[in-house]
Structure 1
Amino acid sequence: MYQLQLTSQFKKDLKKIKNNKKRLKKVLDLIDLLIEGGVGNVPIEMRPHKLIGNWNGRLECHIESDYLIIWFEEKNPNIIRLERVGSHSELFE
């Protein structure tokens, strides 16, 4: 089980989708999976993978085809820090 941390930017990103109940539910369901088992708990259909460049050391997966979440995962202690959620154009300008 992982301890969850939210960056202030992630909180801002989440506020943008608060009225999109379907998308918000998908994000919250994924967060539950991450808390339970980290990246190993994310379904392969969501294409979890490591990032490079400015996001080196972070992980990403697709909630929808063009909607993704970026997080940092630490094993000791078990911490997941949620950093961003949004479309490719919002996150990789």
Structure 2
Amino acid sequence: MKYISIYAKKFRKSIKKLERSGAFDLKETEKVMQKLIDSQKLESKHRDHFLTGEYEGCKECHIKNDLLLIYETDKEKSLITFVNIGSHQELFG
């Protein structure tokens, strides 16, 4: 199954900030996101897991050491929502 992707406002704002900073190679981010859109299992190095608390129902994966992607899938509607992206500090305080 291939998901239809939705980009939350927080995600769009955060990805623009990352692009401007030049601190991360966003090609790896694009690869991981495409795997998620295509319903492919991520490699173990990405540490894909469910979240609790504020982001309950969402999943998080590590793109690089301290670059995390939060997303949520709806299999019934074939949707994936990219919720936010950033460092652990930026996302969780």
| Gapped regions of structure 1 (runs ≥ 5) | none
What is the Cα deviation at residue 22 of structure 1? 5.0
Contact 2:3 2:79 in 1 (8 A): yes
Of 4, 24, 28, the residue aligned with 2:26 is: 24
Task: Give yes or no for the alignment of 1:69 onto 2:82.
Answer: no
Q: What pairs with 1:1-93 in structure 2 (closer than 5 Å)?
A: 1-19=2-20, 20=22, 23-37=25-39, 40-93=40-93
Structure 1 stretches of 4+ moved >4 Å: none
Task: Report the TM-score, using the length of structure 2 for normalisation.
Answer: 0.90
Contact 1:73 1:79 in 2 (8 A): yes
Tell me how large the CA RMSD over aligned residues is: 1.4
Which of the pair is proportionally richer in helix? 1
Aligned-pair identity (%): 32
Task: Report the TM-score, using the length of structure 1 for normalisation.
Answer: 0.90
Number of residue pairs the alignment of both structures matches: 91
